Amino acid sequence: MKERNTDYFAALYEVAKAINGSLDTKKVLEKIVQSVVAAVGVKAGNIRLLDARKKQLVLGAAYGLSREYIHKGPILLEESGLDRKAIKGKITWIEDVQADKDFQYGEKARAEGIKSVLVVPLLLEKKAIGVLRVYSDRVREFNEDELKFLKAAANLSAIAIDNARMHEVLQTRCDLLVENKYRIDDN
């Protein structure tokens, strides 16, 4: 168990390094998902971001999933009980997605070889902005240490997304100020 904890610390270090090393949200989220999949020892993972207007989850990054599975269709909150619970801030686990009605794409999961799924909300100031999902190719439960690690990775992901959004807003404002300065100088 101690060796596994060391792996979680190393994975969290890699996640924090990715967040500090880039403002490219896509690259940061990809690194986070890769680190999480390796540390927890699951088949795959992804991060989906909430589009509250369309009430769906949009892919931010994925690792270990086929192109067909990634593009299977939209994740609609109305049709995914699993994700509705996660967006309310609750960690949600399904033992066998191939047989559970709360999983939107059970048949696609069967074709992909996915059995168990755990979904952790990405919380920013107690409000979910997306989810971190991990997929197992066998029925699998997750222990307390794994849950703590996944919650930490999800929280770091939310911070990375918020940092990138704030940077984008500041960059846009800076560009507008420069553009207006040149207009004023030209007159």
Q: Which tens digit of pLDDT belongs to each residue from 79-134?
A: 988 899 999 999 999 999 988 888 889 999 999 999 999 999 999 998 999 999 99
Residues 161-175 have pLDDT tens digits of 888 888 888 888 988
**pLDDT score for 24:** 82
Instruction: Read off the pLDDT band of 4 (50, 70, 90).
Output: low
Whether 108 and 80 have beta carbons less than 8 Å apart is answered as: no
Average pLDDT score over the chain? 90
**pLDDT score for 1:** 47
The larger pLDDT score, comparing residue 18 to residue 34, is at 34
Taking the CB of residue 90, how many other CB atoms lie within 10 A of it? 12
Residue 182 in tokens:
């040149």
**pLDDT score for 71:** 93
- Buried/exposed 102-124: b ≥16 CB within 10 Å, e otherwise: bbbbbebbeebebbbbbbbbbbb
The span from the CA of 161 to the CA of 30, in Å, is 12
